[in-house]
Structures are given as structure tokens and as C-alpha cells.
């Protein structure tokens, strides 16, 4: 993703450069295949980290496509679509950031209930839906439909905004244009002349009072990509810890296979045969 010179003449260089830099950070994590790998001698113990990596790959593929599409729409001087696409990019970045906050919480305070809640949340993110007819098809008899309901993205935005307050205001600005509200309808395509009985419709790209608002889709893409990159960076940094707490949970519940080696001490949480990689990465 690279913004054209025509877009660069309209908008702050720092915002455009930040979005392009975040795009490259996300691309560095893109793969075509996610493997369970050999982090755990017991495949079941790696299931939750594996599912998280799968969801993150889907999310980053999505943010990259949405960022590319936003850039293309801006280059083609199409105003409103850039807001819809950028909002989708921001939503997806927030969804992944919310997941990594949940992962960090179970690493720092691992409980059986916490891991189960994370597993249910990932299931809803991966396979959840909103449309009643779709839910009827995916919910098995005896299952709670709420377990298959898609995560409410507005709730996710609110949770992420506790850590990054600018996300909430940016999301609201993008939504005003993404929805057929005043900003995205008459506010974009019309000009009120002195004649109160006449509306003049315009190309918003030719009016600087309109194009100033394009900073919002650029910021939406930039922050969405940054949250995506940060989430993947933290996951890679804490992946060994994530595997550790899932292995310890199985061991503590008496589900560890008797013939499989167990590498963690009960007291310290450190491996009995190898060093744990360094911890870190604040959200």
C-alpha cells in the first residue's frame, strides 16, 4: 500500500507515512499456512495458541486487503467508500488487540475459567454470526445460540478505547460517513447556496472543506494496521508463555498424558529442561 502523490498533496505527510509503515509491519507476519509446530509435545496443549494464531492470520489478511482497498479508493477520488473500508480496517485491528489483551490476562493470571472463556471468545470470533438464519444453520441442537453469536464490535471498540482513547472518537467519525447520516449524505455531496430553495450537488474531492475530512480514513487505516501489528508482535513474544499456561492447565486437571514429558516446575512456572524466552511487550 502506497498513497499516490495526489493524495499526499491533500493530507499530512506524517499520517500517510505512519499508515504505510504500519502496513509493512503487518505484511511481515503474513503467512499462507499456520502449523501447530513443535512448541508442545501434547497437541491438545497447543490448541488455544494455535487457534489464536489462525484467527490473527485471518485478521491480518483482512486488514491488509482493507488497507489496499482504502488506498485505491482514495487514489480514485472516491470519497465515501474510503470511510467504510477504513472503518473495517480499524474494527479488525481492535478485534485482534482485544484478543491479545485477553491472552495477556490469562498468562498473568492463569485459571481454568479464564482459559475456557478465552476459548469461547475465539470460537465466536472465528465462527460467529449475527443473522438469525445463519445462526439456525450453525447452532447444533442443545447448544446455546449465544456461544455462536458474533462478537459485538462496538463493545470491542469500547474495551480497546480504555487503553487507546483516540480509537473511540476516530471510530465515531468514520461511522458518521460510513452510515447514510448527514455527514455521509448531504454533508458530502451538496452545497447549500444562498438560494434557500436550491441545493447544489458537488464533487466532494473539489472542495477542501470536504477533503480535510479524509484524514479520518487515513488515520483509521493507520491505527487499524498498528493494532494488528502490535497484537502479532506481542503474540510472538509471549507465545512460549501462552503454551506454558495451557500445558500447566492440562497437567493441573489431571489430563496430561502419562507418557508425555512435562517440562514445567509446579512452583516457578519455569521449564525443567530449558529456559523460557524473555517476557515483555506492553499493550
The contacts of residue 72 (CB under 8 Å, 6+ apart) are none
The answer to whether residue 259 sits within a structural domain is: no
Q: What was the pLDDT predicted at 238? A: 96
Sign, Cα dihedral of 60, 65, 66, 67: positive
Q: What was the pLDDT predicted at 148? A: 74
The answer to whether residue 62 sits within a structural domain is: yes
- As a residue count, the chain comes to 283
Please state at what angle helix 215-252 crosses helix 112-127, rounded to 10 degrees. Answer: 140
Could you tell me the residue range of the domain that residue 54 belongs to?
9-252
Contact 85, 69 (CB under 8 A): yes
Into how many domains does the chain fold? 1
Contact 224, 65 (CB under 8 A): no
Please state at what angle helix 166-178 crosses helix 79-108, rounded to 10 degrees. Answer: 150
Alpha carbon 48 to its chain centroid, in Å, reads 18
Q: What was the pLDDT predicted at 266? A: 61
The answer to whether residue 71 sits within a structural domain is: yes
The answer to whether residue 265 sits within a structural domain is: no
DSSP string, 214-269: GHHHHHHHHHHHHHHHHHHHHHHHHHHHHHHHHHHHHHHTT-S-TTS---B-TTT-
The contacts of residue 64 (CB under 8 Å, 6+ apart) are 1, 23, 26, 27, 30
The answer to whether residue 282 sits within a structural domain is: no
The contacts of residue 56 (CB under 8 Å, 6+ apart) are 29, 96, 99, 231, 232, 235
The answer to whether residue 171 sits within a structural domain is: yes
The answer to whether residue 193 sits within a structural domain is: yes
The answer to whether residue 277 sits within a structural domain is: no
Q: What was the pLDDT predicted at 277? A: 31
The tens-digit pLDDT sequence of the chain (283 residues) is 888 888 888 888 888 999 999 999 999 999 998 887 666 667 776 789 999 999 999 999 999 999 999 999 999 989 999 999 999 999 999 999 999 999 999 999 999 999 999 999 998 898 888 887 777 777 777 777 777 788 899 999 999 999 999 999 999 999 999 999 888 888 888 876 667 777 788 788 877 778 888 999 999 999 999 999 999 999 999 999 999 999 999 888 888 888 888 888 765 455 543 333 333 333 3
Question: How deeply is 193 buried, as exposed, middle or buried, from its count of CB atoms within 10 A (0-12, 13-18, 19+)?
Answer: exposed
Element (DSSP H or E) covering residue 65 = helix 47-75
Q: Is 281 left (phi over 0), alpha (psi -120 to 50) or beta?
A: left
Please report, to the nearest 10 degrees, the dihedral formed by the alpha carbons of residues 102, 103, 108, 109 taken in order. 60
Q: In DSSP terms, which residues pair with 129 in a beta bridge?
A: 149
Q: What was the pLDDT predicted at 218? A: 95
Amino acid at each position: 500500500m502506497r498513497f499516490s502523490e495526489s493524495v499526499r498533496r491533500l493530507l499530512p505527510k506524517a499520517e500517510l507515512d505512519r499508515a504505510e509503515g504500519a502496513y509493512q509491519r503487518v505484511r511481515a507476519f503474513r503467512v499462507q499456512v499456520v502449523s501447530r509446530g513443535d512448541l508442545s509435545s501434547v497437541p491438545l496443549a497447543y490448541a488455544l495458541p494455535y487457534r489464536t494464531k489462525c484467527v490473527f492470520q485471518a485478521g491480518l489478511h483482512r486488514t491488509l486487503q482493507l488497507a489496499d482497498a482504502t488506498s485505491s479508493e482514495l487514489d480514485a477520488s472516491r470519497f465515501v467508500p474510503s470511510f467504510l473500508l477504513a472503518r473495517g480496517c480499524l474494527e479488525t485491528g481492535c478485534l485482534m488487540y482485544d484478543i491479545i489483551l485477553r491472552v495477556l490476562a490469562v498468562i498473568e493470571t492463569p485459571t481454568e475459567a479464564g482459559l475456557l472463556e478465552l476459548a469461547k471468545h475465539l470460537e465466536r470470533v472465528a465462527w460467529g454470526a449475527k443473522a438469525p438464519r445463519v445462526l439456525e444453520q450453525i447452532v447444533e441442537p442443545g447448544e446455546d445460540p449465544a456461544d455462536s453469536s458474533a462478537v459485538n464490535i462496538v463493545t470491542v471498540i469500547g474495551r480497546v478505547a480504555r487503553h487507546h482513547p483516540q480509537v473511540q472518537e476516530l471510530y465515531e467519525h468514520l461511522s458518521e460517513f460510513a452510515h447514510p447520516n448527514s455527514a455521509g449524505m448531504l454533508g458530502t455531496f451538496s452545497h447549500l447556496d444562498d438560494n434557500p430553495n436550491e441545493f447544489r450537488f458537488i464533487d466532494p474531492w473539489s472542495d477542501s472543506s470536504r477533503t480535510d475530512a479524509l484524514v479520518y480514513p487515513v488515520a483509521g487505516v493507520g491505527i487499524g494496521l498498528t493494532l494488528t501489528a502490535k497484537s502479532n508482535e506481542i503474540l510472538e513474544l509471549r507465545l512460549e508463555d501462552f503454551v506454558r499456561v495451557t500445558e500447566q492447565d492440562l497437567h493441573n486437571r489431571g489430563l496430561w498424558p502419562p507418557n508425555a514429558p512435562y517440562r514445567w516446575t509446579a512452583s516457578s512456572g519455569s521449564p525443567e529442561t530449558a529456559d523460557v524466552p524473555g517476557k515483555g511487550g506492553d499493550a
